[in-house]
Chain A
Amino acid sequence: MSRYTSATPADRDEMLDAIGVASVAELFDQIPEALRLGRSLSLPSGMSEPEVYERMAALAERNADADRQVCFIGAGMYDHYVPALVDAIAQRSEFLTPYTPYQPEISQGGLQVMFEFQTAMSELTALPVSNAALYEGPSSLASAGYMAIGATKGRRRFVVSRGVHPHGRETLETYSAGFGSEVVEVGLEDGATDAAALADAVDADTAAVFLQSPNFLGAVEDVEALGAAAKKHGALLVVATDPMTLGVLEPPGRCGADVALGEGQPLGNRLDYGGPSFGFFCATEALIRRMPGRIAGETVDVDGRRGFVLALQTREQHIRREKATHNICTAQALNALMAMVHLAWLGREGYRELGELLVRRTAYARERLAAVPGVELLHRAPVAREFALRLEAPVAAVLERCAERAIAAGYPLGRDYPEYEDGLLVAITERRTKAQIDQLAEVLGAAVSAEAVHA
């Protein structure tokens, strides 16, 4: 009897009798002899629970997590505080261990959470239709591309701001090889999307224009003004956004966006070295039948009681197969639950206050760091919770020095933007206190001056 199974030798004998075979091996006879492995897998033997725990803990010990290094890294995922009740609720068996709610009568909890989540995301983005989450931000952006091709009757050109998260742009490129579409990039001007270049790039064959606000450099974009180019040519306006900023920033739905989407991790999800988190995806009423992913809908049961079901399933792969709006099956229901609980915990006031707190601490940090010798602003566009600096010293070496003082000072922009080899992206959350920001200024200053001397 192995771990997590319960057939005793006596059970086994009785079951084999009932089946009418002499051994379990006989059941595997349908696998042709030549294809049978005929040996044990070349893997270690099984371990006891305490041994597994120790082994896993030893691996985890070798990671500089945000408890050990003060984390100013953002770049799409942020070190927000996840309230304790999020963990408690998400670890309940009833949410943790069911499958997709194919039997609505015994899945009302999960379906109602989806419905609440959709309502909340519609409120945040000011768009009337939300799905119940996709994998994560960048692939959600690529999925919007697929939707745009259908919605524009086969147009195959995407115009993308260079301010869109590099992972989003790259994922859209990857998917485009399949869609047979072309991705055209528009550059940045002092941190924000170059409006004239964008207007020039959009044409009658453009299926969608992709913007991000705040963009990857932290700049808050004038989405409404930029989006005019999309409207003019009948392209969809797709806006990626940070859901923690929508308490203070005008939401995509009120700036002309047809689709608002993004990385959901800031809402109630841990860093987890990049996942699992979720992607949110909201759109206009006109696009409801083209949406990717699950959507819960309200209805009543035979006794007239309020209930919820998966609505509009004919969009999905298990029914429409090759004509489906998307291939997605397993999505991120549990992560969406965590977001919903976090949003309920923040509540109407708390959500706005948190947004304001981020804006003010970010403004303070930006000013404080820009005053450090050898450090200057990379752009002057307005920012909400993240900003970009230029360092007069090699960024990697500076980061290494900061890390030695237990500070993860930010994200080196040179990883994705060769033109910003000297760039550092710094993110603020409610966990980053004034004292930590001041400490960052001191440590960063020392590191820059030490490395500048080396140079």
Chain B
Amino acid sequence: MSTRAEEVLTIFDRSREGRRAAVLPDAEVPEPPLEELIPAKLLRSQPPRLPEVSEPEIVRHYNRLSRRNFDVDTGFYPLGSCTMKHNPRLNERVAALPGNARLHPAQEASRAQGALELMWLLQRSLAEICGLPHVSLQPSAGSHGELAGLLLTRAYHLDRGETRHRVLAPDTSHGTNPASVTMAGYEVVKVATNERGGVDLDDLRAKVSEDVACLMLTNPNTLGVFDENIAEIAGLIHEAGGTLYYDGANLNAIMGHTRPGDMGFDIVHVNLHKSFSQPHGGGGPGAGPIAVSDRIEPFLPRPQVVRAEGGNGGGPHYELDLDRPRSIGRLRGFQGNFGVFVRSYAYVLSLGADGLSEASETAVLNANYLKARLAEGRAGRLLPIAFDRHCMHEFVLSGKPMKGELGLATLDLAKRLLDFGFHPPTVYFPLLVEEALMIEPTETETKETLDAFAEAIERILAEAEDDPEVARQAPYTTPVRRLDEVRATRRPVVRQNLG
């Protein structure tokens, strides 16, 4: 991390008239005035004020900025539900091969056979992992997959002559679930959580009806526990004619151990940027392919990658199938985030069947170990587990006793962790748990790292017993300290004033 003494300048602040980096090729063709080519009224009257900087300055500027970021290549990042696992560099290398990186998306299918085969292979792999026969790679992220799933549900019911209005989601669900429900034109109905952290079956029974289009679940859920009643839940929804949607944010817990399709889900999205190692990029890109059951397949987005067996002794070839009359249509441009598919497929090849299964095992082992470590000492007393049972790949603690006894909010603990070189867990989610801390260590961390994290928490709590102000004012060692978010939102400044 950079020192805090540096002045914060933007690339626009560094601009000096007359500096430049790019040298462009000569036109090589006649250069008439632009007005002779395009009517003057359509031409730009005032140029955009982009910065004027030299190449060395650009490199220094962004390198300097990079040092003001924390990232998973630097340290432990136990952000719950985000699966911050290692991002193999091999995947970057193969994504950058010209055959991938420089392939135009409108290239004829016959000249993009490697790309289409890769997509087809990834589709088959995800189908096997999810236990559902059909896959569309098109959605750009998890929430895009959710929207796709709900539009598929709508199309499925319309096809049967039904119009349904409600979608059920547990009160522990990710915020994207209810937001997607509204975008898809449904009304969201919350389902309560039982004392074991699963869906409250009585509440579910009371809310299931012929008007319910879909139930959206993640299993293990956002409390990190597996809902043992899933078969019964699926039965209730299917009996009422609804679809069951699986939010795959937590798939990293179960790969090779159980499959959403076998649990009764009709539609699953997979976050390739979580379980399948696509780097998060500071907030994207990702990809959110969906896997679906037979009854949903006719409605999958266009285009769909299909394989045709070759005639005349030739091998199979791959096509983009646009002729899908019952399809919900396109969800985006071209074929999807292909560069993400390349990385994820390389990951699947690297791990293979046993490696994927072992990744989930180790993720669950690491989570349970860290949970056990945090059940000791001060943490055990001040940060109790929200639902006391074995967890899957993540678990949720409540900072309520810490707040009561030490006057330390979960936010303060999170900020103090920054001074210890750790990214804090997800905080204040799920909403059901007061002062929640949601911790997901992933399989790629060592025992030493988990121990160090547990020790840091213990030290922060011990320090707060002496003087809670230390944590309340934290962090101290970061490029900036706590920021005035009220000011940023009351009178938002969302671009630089260039005069």
Contact = CB atoms under 8 A, between A and B. Distances in A.
Given A110-B283, A311-B492, A341-B62, A171 B114 contact: no
User: Is the interface on chain A under 10, 10 to 19, 20 to 34, or 35 or more residues?
Assistant: 35 or more
Given A19-B372, A46-B355, A328 B66 contact: no
Contacts of B207: none
Nearest to B47: A352
Contacts of A128: 495
Interface string B68-86: 1111111001010010111
Nearest to B100: A60
Contacts of B105: 77, 271-275
A377 B92 CA distance: 42
B108 interface: yes
Interface residues of B, number: 212
Contact of B285 (A317, A332, A347): A332
Contacts of B316: none
Interface in A307-331: 307-309, 311-314, 316-324, 326-331
Contact of B25 (A248, A278, A357): A357
Contacts of A56: 94, 97, 118, 342, 345-346, 349
B48 A348 contact: yes
B334 A275 contact: yes
Interface in A345-363: 345-354, 356-357, 359-361, 363
Given A65-B102, A96-B279, A320-B179, A343 B50 contact: yes
A163 B282 CA distance: 34
Interface in B111-157: 111-115, 117-118, 125, 128-129, 131, 140-144, 146-147, 150-151, 154-155
B258 A36 contact: yes
A162 interface: no
B107 A18 contact: no
A18 B372 contact: yes
Interface string A85-114: 101110111111111111111111110110
A426 interface: no
Top 4 nearest A-B pairs (CB, nearest first) are A60-B99, A274-B334, A334-B281, A274-B105
Given A37-B257, A352-B47, A359 B38 contact: yes
A391 B344 CA distance: 41
Contacts of B93: 53
A177 B154 contact: yes
A175 interface: yes
A9 to B, nearest CB: 12
30 contacts: A4-B444, A5-B358, A30-B225, A56-B97, A56-B118, A63-B112, A79-B102, A94-B70, A94-B71, A96-B71, A96-B281, A98-B72, A99-B82, A99-B423, A105-B481, A119-B495, A123-B48, A139-B140, A170-B330, A179-B183, A250-B44, A274-B105, A317-B174, A321-B178, A331-B283, A345-B55, A346-B22, A360-B31, A403-B108, A408-B107
Given A53-B94, A56-B94, A276 B48 contact: no
A288 B492 CA distance: 9
A387 B273 CA distance: 37
Contact of A274 (B63, B336, B484): B336
Given A96-B279, A321-B178, A434-B29, 11 more contacts: A2-B362, A3-B88, A26-B390, A59-B117, A95-B281, A99-B282, A110-B69, A113-B282, A135-B332, A305-B8, A330-B141
B354 interface: yes
Interface string A228-271: 00000000000000000011111100100000000100000011
B30 interface: yes
Contacts of A403: 108, 111
B43 interface: yes
A97 B112 CA distance: 29
A411 interface: yes
Nearest to B230: A35
Given A91-B92, A220-B42, A327 B107 contact: no
Contacts of A254: 45-46
Given A18-B369, A30-B389, A47 B480 contact: no
Contacts of B368: 15, 19, 21, 27
B405 interface: no
- Counting chain A CB atoms within 10 Å of each CB, the highest count among B22, B73, B258, B302 belongs to B22
Contact of A327 (B24, B180, B336): B180
Contacts of B482: 105, 301-302
Contact of A334 (B184, B282, B480): B282
A127 to B, nearest CB: 10
- Counting chain A CB atoms within 10 Å of each CB, the highest count among B151, B231, B331 belongs to B331
B59 A89 contact: yes
B487 interface: yes
Interface string A121-133: 0111010111011
Interface in A29-62: 29-32, 34-37, 40-47, 49, 51-53, 55-62
Contacts of B389: 30
A359 B32 CA distance: 10
Contacts of B61: 344
Nearest to A263: B333
A30 B185 contact: no
